Amino acid sequence: MKRFRFVLLAFFLLPLLVFSQVLEPVKWSFKVEQTKPGEATLLLISNSERGWHTYSQEVIPDGPVPTEFTFTKSPNYELDGKVIEPKGVKEKDPQMNNMVLTYFPDKAVFKQKIKVLGKKDFTIKGSVYFMCCNDRSCIAPTDAEFEFSIKGDPGATVTTQTSQGKTSPIQPASTATANQAKPAIQNAAVTDTAKTAKACCSAKQDSAKISHISTTVAGNEASKSLFVFFLISFLAGLAAIVTPCVFPMIPMTVTFFMKGSENKRKGRMQAIVYGLSIIVIYTVIGTIVAVTLGANFANFLSTHWIPNVFFFLIFMVFAASFLGMFEITLPSWLVNKADKQADKGGYTGAFFMAFTLVLVSFSCTGPIVGAILVQSASGEIIKPIIGMLGFSLAFALPFGLFAFFPSWLAGLPKSGGWLNSVKVVLGFIEIALGLKFLSIADQTYHWHILDREVYLAMWIVTFTLMGFYLLGKLKFHHDSDLPFISVPRLLLAIITFSFVIYMVPGMFGAPLKALSGYLPPETSLDFDLTRIIREEVKAFSGSGSGGNTTSALCEKPRYGDFLKLPHGLDGYFDYKQGLACAKKTNKPLFIDFTGHGCVNCREMEANVWSAPPVLQRLREKFIVTALYVDDKTEVPEKEWITSKYDGKVKKSIGKIYADLQISRYNINSQPYYVLLDTAGNLLAQPRAYNLNVDEFVKWLDGALDNFQKQQKK
């Protein structure tokens, strides 16, 4: 629901700009109280229309933009403490996913005490940065500027320079925009300001003012990603059930509960405790991983070659285990100790029976659980917990169901060689998934070991062998004899070989949109037949017209020898170079914050950028600049920067542009698309991952309209 509201908000902001309709739900007024020399109290008063509200200076992370006050430097005064805010309403906010927040409806008076240090009268200037919402929508954060007239202190003897500044930890780089009125306070009179939240697509608006909404949209995409990860983990839990270590335990365990109890009701309750214990044990494992690694470790895990190569090796070990090379087992003393506790019976015994199952089945479930944790380790802190919850929920499901419906046990297929076949198939899948981690390291460090055609060749071979295994043409030493092929097994073989045939054209340049997020980019393909044909047609067209073709580029792109744009687009990989070309050609600048290991980036390029209306606009109407936030290439020392965000020196391409994205747009997720004019101002609200082609086209067209209006002015 939250995602839907913000999509509607983004959709309707462009019409608001076009028809010059400015929503003004909050007005600010300012006055000063100065009862004695040397002291003064500044009153900053917000007046909200009915149903609207502003927020406290202190909000929880991922919440709304807090109200922030900035005061200009002056030797004539110093701040006496922080801005004091009134007591607000503290309750769930429907616009912020029902977070418990403090906000101020109607009228709110903020107070800032100051000490007067100079003898002469002076003025204090500054701005308040705020966000406002009602029960249906929110307005992009904006500024209200203020000016106070202060009487000097005749008794002051020393005037010192003091460092004035913001009273809240984060402040946008710019506090003024071209479209905002500038109120003035004269002789302590109250002057209402027509300061409001304006359409976030304004061409003159500072980019930091819309970062919260962009972050929220990206957060919604992250929520969607978590849900998908939960489903994948749930399916992995179902797959774990039909492994040789687990499947035979279902009838044995359920029968034990039903026969070993005084009545069926108690047996069912013990089975439920057994299933819930499985969920708790696995979820605790996910929590430990989340707390141990945490979100701060995410960037290192997702981009550095050491963890990615390590994860690749782990997947290969898991695959070898599933294929029968060896078994991954836990120490026998740990299993025996848990088994003794299970003999106690009752609900405590049910818990330790669950713990024993987890330990005994580790040789089958370990590779699956390990794969989920590896996949989630480079994500946010909640992801390992979500993954283990989904896995354990599916894993525990049959024990609860068969306990309530014991007659179903008669319908279970008997254990046999088919269970081992499940393990082998999972082994082939582990090999394919493990290659993704090696590919990320390969792209980030430009090793060129696993370019697109090599990657595809290995997938094609892996799944071809899996297809032959399903047909019984490939056999491992621990496999049972296969006198005939069952219909389900034949259908799986057909699906596998169809998938192989689908991948083959990708060796010659086919986009393979269904796999775009999991394959190396098309630009890494050495023999791209489609690109060769496109270049030949381009050359032929140029010669046929007398050679009067012109390139969209102003100069050779920096880093163009190892970075490429998809679909044959010409563009840059350096922000300054892209902006300079935009000025020279008088075209708007399309910024693509992307990454080598960004799955969603590849999906956007394959499914949205490739659409003819999008590709035509990017090629003809914009200067495209891709900024890789995870590239490890170090730039010359003279180009190193010291971050204003964290104070650290950034030496590589990736760190420099990751810092640019965070410091300017207050977001660090990719893909993230920004449209700028030739002066670097926003032409439209930035966009994150969204596969809707029509919306992307409208977004581009809206920015082009704003750019053309600028040119006319």
Handedness of CA 279, 284, 289, 291 (dihedral sign): positive
pLDDT at 361 over 80: no
Q: Is the bond leading into 483 cis (omega within 30 degrees of zero)?
A: no
CATH (domain of 52) = 2.60.40.1250
pLDDT digits 0-9 by tens, 600-625 = 788 888 889 988 999 999 999 999 99
In this prediction, residue 296 has a pLDDT band, given cuts at 50, 70 and 90, of very low
Number of other residues whose CB lies within 10 A of the CB of residue 533: 11
Tell me the C-alpha distance between 574 and 653, whole Å.
Answer: 9
Handedness of CA 561, 605, 580, 547 (dihedral sign): positive
Residues 582 and 684 occupy one common structural domain: yes
pLDDT at 462 over 80: yes
pLDDT digits 0-9 by tens, 79-131 = 888 899 998 888 876 656 567 788 888 889 999 999 888 788 888 988 888 87
Tell me the C-alpha distance between 29 and 190, whole Å.
Answer: 6
Residues 236 and 372 occupy one common structural domain: yes
Q: How much is the pLDDT for 463?
A: 95
Among 83-97, 184-198, 284-298, 691-705, whose mean pLDDT is lowest?
184-198
Number of other residues whose CB lies within 10 A of the CB of residue 123: 14
Structural domain includes residue 6: no
Please say whether the beta carbons of 593 and 673 come within 8 A: yes
Q: How much is the pLDDT for 14?
A: 39
Residues 30 and 46 occupy one common structural domain: yes
The residue out of 407, 427, 450 marking a domain boundary is 450
Tell me the C-alpha distance between 76 and 36, whole Å.
Answer: 16
Residues 86 and 193 occupy one common structural domain: yes
Among 177-191, 563-577, 634-648, whose mean pLDDT is lowest?
177-191
Please say whether the beta carbons of 471 and 485 come within 8 A: yes
Please say whether the beta carbons of 391 and 368 come within 8 A: yes
Q: How much is the pLDDT for 172?
A: 34
Tell me the C-alpha distance between 341 and 356, whole Å.
Answer: 9
In this prediction, residue 239 has a pLDDT band, given cuts at 50, 70 and 90, of confident
Instruction: Taking residues 573-588, report their average pLDDT.
Output: 93
Q: How much is the pLDDT for 171?
A: 35
Instruction: Taking residues 219-245, report their average pLDDT.
Output: 71
Q: How much is the pLDDT for 564?
A: 84
In this prediction, residue 497 has a pLDDT band, given cuts at 50, 70 and 90, of very high
Total domains in the chain come to: 4
> Could you tell me what percent of the chain has a pLDDT over 70?
64
Structural domain includes residue 393: yes
Q: How much is the pLDDT for 110?
A: 92
Residues 523 and 587 occupy one common structural domain: no
Instruction: Taking residues 485-499, report their average pLDDT.
Output: 93
pLDDT at 486 over 80: yes
Tell me the C-alpha distance between 704 and 662, whole Å.
Answer: 25
Residues 420 and 472 occupy one common structural domain: no
Q: What is the mean pLDDT of the chain?
A: 74
Residues 490 and 438 occupy one common structural domain: no
Tell me the C-alpha distance between 141 and 294, whole Å.
Answer: 30
Residue type, 2: K
The residue out of 198, 231, 254 marking a domain boundary is 198
In this prediction, residue 574 has a pLDDT band, given cuts at 50, 70 and 90, of very high
Q: What is the 3-state secondary structure (H, E, C) of 150-192?
A: ECCCCCCCCCCCCCCCCCCCCCCCCCCCCCCCCCCCCCCCCCC
Please say whether the beta carbons of 435 and 306 come within 8 A: no
Instruction: Taking residues 663-673, report their average pLDDT.
Output: 83
User: Between 69 and 61, where is the model more confident?
Assistant: 69
Residues 522 and 585 occupy one common structural domain: no
Domain of residue 533 covers 451-539
Structural domain includes residue 206: no
Q: How much is the pLDDT for 521?
A: 76
pLDDT at 173 over 60: no
Q: How much is the pLDDT for 588?
A: 94
User: Between 643 and 417, where is the model more confident?
Assistant: 643
Q: How much is the pLDDT for 575?
A: 94
Residues 262 and 164 occupy one common structural domain: no
Structural domain includes residue 18: no
Q: How far from chain centre, in Å, is Cα 58? A: 24
Structural domain includes residue 9: no
Please say whether the beta carbons of 160 and 73 come within 8 A: no
pLDDT digits 0-9 by tens, 128-146 = 888 787 765 566 567 788 8
CATH (domain of 625) = 3.40.30.10
Q: Compute the radius of gyration of the chain from its Cα atoms.
A: 31
Residues 230 and 178 occupy one common structural domain: no
Structural domain includes residue 71: yes
The residue out of 406, 426, 450 marking a domain boundary is 450
Tell me the C-alpha distance between 197 and 183, whole Å.
Answer: 15
Structural domain includes residue 512: yes
pLDDT at 261 over 50: no
Among 187-201, 214-228, 394-408, 460-474, whose mean pLDDT is lowest?
187-201
Neighbouring-strand partners of residue 571: 624
Structural domain includes residue 171: yes
User: Between 7 and 709, where is the model more confident?
Assistant: 709
Residues 439 and 458 occupy one common structural domain: no
CA angle 126, 129, 131 (to 5 degrees): 160
Neighbouring-strand partners of residue 370: none
DSSP assignment letter at 634 = B
In this prediction, residue 513 has a pLDDT band, given cuts at 50, 70 and 90, of confident
Q: How much is the pLDDT for 216?
A: 47
pLDDT at 702 over 90: yes
Neighbouring-strand partners of residue 591: 625, 674
Q: How far apart are the first and last CA of the chain?
A: 40
In this prediction, residue 199 has a pLDDT band, given cuts at 50, 70 and 90, of very low
pLDDT digits 0-9 by tens, 514-556 = 786 678 877 777 776 666 666 666 556 554 433 333 456 899 9
Instruction: Taking residues 230-244, report their average pLDDT.
Output: 78
Residues 582 and 525 occupy one common structural domain: no
